[in-house]
Amino acid sequence: MAIIKVEDLKMHYKTKMGYVKAVDGISFELESGESLGIVGESGCGKTSVSMTLLRTLPENAEFMGGHVWFNDNGKMVDLTQLSEDEMRHYRWKGISMVFQAAMNSLNPVYKVGDQIVEAILTHYPETPIDEARAKVARLFELVTLDPKRMDEYPHQYSGGMKQRAVIALALACDPKIIIADEPTTALDVIVQDRILRELKNVQEQLNMAMIYISHDIAVIAEVSKKIAVMYAGKFVEQSDSTTIFKKPMHPYTFLLMNAFPSHVGEKKKLFTIPGEPPNLLNPPTGCRFAPRCPWATEKCGVEEPPYVEVESGHYLACWHPLTEEVRQNELRK
Amino acid sequence: MSSENKKVLLEVKGLKKFFPAERALFARVKHFVRAVDDVSFDIIEGESLGLVGESGCGKTTTGRMIVRLEDPTAGTIKIYDKPVNDYERMKYHSIVQMIFQDPYESLNPRMTIFDIVAEPLNIHNIGTLEEREAKVMELLQKVGMTPPESFLWRYPHELSGGQRQRIAIARALVLNPKLIVADEPTSMLDVSVRTGVMQLMMQLQSDYNVSYLYITHDLAVARYMVNRIAVMYLGKLVELAETEELLHNPLHPYTKSLMDAVPVPDPEYKRGEPNILGSISAPIDPLPICRFYDRCPYREILGDRCKTQPHPELKEVSPGHFVSCYPVHEGKL
C-alpha cells in the first residue's frame, strides 16, 4: 500500500497583483522504499510542493484544495485536514525534510549534536538523554560523520559536513518519508557525490520513501527510480527514470532532457527551448507549455490537457504525445 | 589549435596572487592564502580556454587579474606580447572584457538597456549618438533580443535572468574585444534558458572572432564552450589539454576524481566512485610539496617524490597534454 498519496493538491500565493498559482493540481503516490524525483526549473513550484506537503507555508500562501493521504500504520490520514497540533505529530516523525541551505538550517549557537537530541526529545519526550545521544552517535555514523564531533558548533563544520548533519537531523525521528529539497546545490561536485551516495544508502537501508527535488536532471537520474517533471505549477509527465530519459512523450520533457550537457559519451547536439517559463500570476490558457512548444496546435492554446495514465505507471498531460519516430527525427536533425 | 600563423593573444606566466589570511591593525601579516600560485597558460587568437575547478581553487581570481580588477602579487600577463601594465587602461578594456556570473548584480538597475550597452562607447567616445544607437540595435539583434527597439528603453528589472545575461554579453561585445573573460556566465540560468545563452556565445565567438577565457565548475558545460580545458586545484593548474582529450583521457588523479564525481544525465550510466581522500582546504601557507598530496589516493604507493619535492611542474606528457604530477611524469600512473 502507498505510504503517501497526493491528490489534486493546490496551493496559491496571494499577492497584490492576484494569486500566483505555484502548485496547481499535483497528484502522485509513493510506496515505502521508493524514490520520486521532482525536476523542474526555478519558479515552477517544486519547493512549494514540499512546503505544502509539510504544511510549513509562508503567511501569504493559501491552501486551495486537494488531499495528502499519509499511511499511518495502515490508516490513511488526510494531512490537509488536521489541526496544527495534530500535524506537528506527523512532521519529522512521519515526513521530514532536508533543506537546501544547510548552513542556515542549523542554529549557530547550539552544538550540532544537541540540536538533533532536541528534535528527538521534542517528539519522544520520554527518551532518556543518554539514549538520545547514543542515537545521534549512530545517525552520525550513518551519514559518515565522526560522532566525536557531536559537541562542536556548526561553524566548525565544513559545508559538506553541515549538509550531512542536516540529513542526520532529518533522520532523527525515524521518518517514513524524507523530502530532500536541492540538498546538494550549494556544494562542490566531489562533496555532492558523497552526499548523494549517502542519501541513497540511507534511504535504501532504512527503506524510507524519498521525494528528491532538484533542477539538476543528472542528479535526479542518479537518486530517483521515478521522475516527475514539473512545469508552471503542474506535473506534465511522470514515469520511471529510464522512460523519462529514453522515451519521453511530453515535448517539454524531451527538450529538457536533451538540453542538458554531459561530460561523458558522445558529444551530442544540445536542444534549446524557445522563450521563458511563464509568469504564474497569469499562466497561459490551455496547456501551459503551449506558447513554447514546437508541436503545439490551436487546441493546445485553448483546452488544457488532462493528466492521465497513458501506459502503466506513465502519466502524461499532453494533447500530442511524441512518438518514437518524432523523437528520432529530432535527434537526427 | 596552435597553428603557426595564429598570434598568441594572451600569455600568462608565473601568475601569483596571495591574500593576507589575517589582518590585525599594525600587525605584520604572517599568513597568506595562496589563491593563485604560479599559474601559466596562453590563449591563441580565436581559441577559447576553459578554467575548471571547485570553489576556492582560484579560477575567479585568475580571471579578475586578467581583466585588471586585481593586481597580481607576482608574474606577468601579456596581451599580444605586451605586458598589461604597458597598456593604457582604456585601450586595454577595448581588447579585454568580462561577463560576470550574476546578471542580477552586474547590470546597473538605474540605467536603461541602451545606456548599459552604450556605456563603453560613451566612455571611449566612439561615434555619434545615432551611430551608437545603431550599434546597440545591431548587438541586441545579435544576442537575440528582438525586436531591439522594444528593449532599448527598458530597465534590467523588466527582464528575465537569461535576457539580462544576453544584455551583459552585448555590453561585453560592443567594443569588439579580442578576449572575453566569462566567469560562470550560465551557472545562474535555468537549463532551458542556459543552452540558448551557450549557443549564443558560441555563435558570437565565430562571428566576432573573439576568444573566451571560460571560467566554470561544470565540465559538461566547458565541453561545449572551449577548445582546451585547464583544471585548477588550490591555486595550481594540475592538467591542461584539448577538451575531448582531457575528458577521454584524464591523467591527473584530481581530474579523474572530478570526472567521476559529476553526475551523468542518464539513469543507465554507472559512473565510478571518485578516488580522492579527505576534503578541500584553503591554501593557507601550504607546504612546499605537491598541492594535491593530502588528498591523493596514490600517495602511499607512489608518493616518495611527491612529499619531498616542490609542487611538480606542468609538463607536456603527450602533444598538447600537460600534467603536473610526478607519478604521471615517470609513467607510473
Pairing of strands B82-83, B74-79: antiparallel
Would B276 be classed as within a structural domain?
yes
Cα B93 to Cα B248: distance, rounded to the nearest angstrom: 36
**Shortest CA distance to B136 belongs to which of B100, B176, B170?**
B170
Give chain A's mean pLDDT: 92
Would A313 be classed as within a structural domain?
yes
Q: Residue B46: which domain range?
A: 8-329
B267: chain A residues, CB-CB within 8 Å: 221-222, 241-242, 245
Contact A188 B55 (CB under 8 A): yes
Number of domains into which chain B is organized: 1
Would A30 be classed as within a structural domain?
no
**Shortest CA distance to A50 belongs to which of A33, A37, A64?**
A37
**Which is higher by pLDDT, B304 or B58?**
B58
Q: What does the pLDDT look like over B164-180, one tens digit per residue?
A: 999 999 999 999 999 99
CATH number at residue B101: 3.40.50.300
Number of domains into which chain A is organized: 1
Count CA atoms within 13 Å of residue B154 on its CB side.
15
Any CB–CB contact under 8 A between A216 and chain B? yes
Q: What does the pLDDT look like over B117-156, one tens digit per residue?
A: 999 999 999 999 999 999 999 999 999 998 999 999 999 9
Would B163 be classed as within a structural domain?
yes
The ipTM, to two decimals, is 0.86
Q: What does the pLDDT look like over A205-246, one tens digit per residue?
A: 889 999 999 999 999 999 999 999 999 999 999 999 999 999
A201: chain B residues, CB-CB within 8 Å: none
Q: CA distances (Å), A287 to each of A20, A232, A303, A319, in order?
A: 17, 10, 7, 9
Would A316 be classed as within a structural domain?
yes
Would B1 be classed as within a structural domain?
no
User: Tell me, what's the pLDDT at A241?
Assistant: 95
Cα B291 to Cα B218: distance, rounded to the nearest angstrom: 22
Cα B130 to Cα B139: distance, rounded to the nearest angstrom: 14
B 140-199: CB under 8 A from A: 160, 162-163, 190-196, 198-199
Region B186-211: mean pLDDT is 91
Contact B192 A277 (CB under 8 A): yes
pLDDT at B301 over 80: yes
Cα A319 to Cα A250: distance, rounded to the nearest angstrom: 9
User: Tell me, what's the pLDDT at B1?
Assistant: 45
B261 vs A190, A267, A271: nearest CB = A190
B224: chain A residues, CB-CB within 8 Å: 261, 267, 270
Q: What does the pLDDT look like over B313-333, one tens digit per residue?
A: 999 999 999 999 999 998 888
pLDDT at B245 over 50: yes
A216: chain B residues, CB-CB within 8 Å: 263
Contact B265 A245 (CB under 8 A): yes
Cell of residue A289, nine digits: 507549455
User: Tell me, what's the pLDDT at B332?
Assistant: 84
* Percentage with pLDDT > 90 across chain A: 74
A276: chain B residues, CB-CB within 8 Å: 160, 162-163, 193
Any CB–CB contact under 8 A between A270 and chain B? yes
pLDDT band at B24 (very low <50, low <70, confident <90, very high): low
Q: What does the pLDDT look like over A155-193, one tens digit per residue?
A: 998 888 888 899 999 999 999 999 999 888 878 888 899
3-state secondary structure of B301: helix
Give chain B's mean pLDDT: 91
User: Tell me, what's the pLDDT at A86?
Assistant: 92
Cα A176 to Cα B30: distance, rounded to the nearest angstrom: 53
pLDDT at B294 over 70: yes
A241 vs B55, B223, B267: nearest CB = B267
Any CB–CB contact under 8 A between A78 and chain B? no
Cα B78 to Cα B241: distance, rounded to the nearest angstrom: 21
pLDDT band at A265 (very low <50, low <70, confident <90, very high): confident
Q: Which amino acid is at A68?
A: V
Cα B47 to Cα B205: distance, rounded to the nearest angstrom: 9
Would B193 be classed as within a structural domain?
yes
Cα B210 to Cα A34: distance, rounded to the nearest angstrom: 49
Region B209-235: mean pLDDT is 95
Q: Which residue has the cell 616542490?
A: B310
pLDDT band at B188 (very low <50, low <70, confident <90, very high): confident
If you measure CA to CA, which chain B residue comes closest to A260? B191
A 220-259: CB under 8 A from B: 221-222, 241-242, 245, 255-257, 259
B 265-294: CB under 8 A from A: 265-269, 271, 273-274, 276, 279-280
What A141-144 contacts at long range (C-beta under 8 Å, 24+ apart), as own/partner pairs, is A142/A168, A142/A171, A142/A198, A142/A202, A142/A205, A143/A167, A143/A168, A143/A171, A143/A198, A143/A202, A144/A194, A144/A198
**Number of CB pairs < 8 Å for A and B?**
118
User: Tell me, what's the pLDDT at B2?
Assistant: 46
Cα B240 to Cα A127: distance, rounded to the nearest angstrom: 57
Q: CA distances (Å), B182 to each of A275, B65, B273, B312, in order?
A: 23, 13, 31, 28
Would B32 be classed as within a structural domain?
yes
Q: Which amino acid is at A240?
A: D
Determine if residue A105 is left, alpha or beta; phi over 0 gives left, psi from -120 to 50 gives alpha, anything else beta: alpha
If you measure CA to CA, which chain B residue comes closest to A292? B192
Region B269-288: mean pLDDT is 86
Q: Residue A258: which domain range?
A: 248-333
Contact B192 A257 (CB under 8 A): no
pLDDT band at B303 (very low <50, low <70, confident <90, very high): low
B79 CA: distance to closest CA in chain A (Å)? 31
* CB of A30 closer than 8 Å to CB of A94: no
**DSSP state, residue B245:** H
Contact A265 B276 (CB under 8 A): no
Determine if residue A74 is left, alpha or beta; phi over 0 gives left, psi from -120 to 50 gives alpha, anything else beta: left
**Shortest CA distance to B271 belongs to which of A262, A315, A15, A141?**
A262
B 108-137: CB under 8 A from A: none
User: Tell me, what's the pLDDT at B6?
Assistant: 78
A196: chain B residues, CB-CB within 8 Å: 263
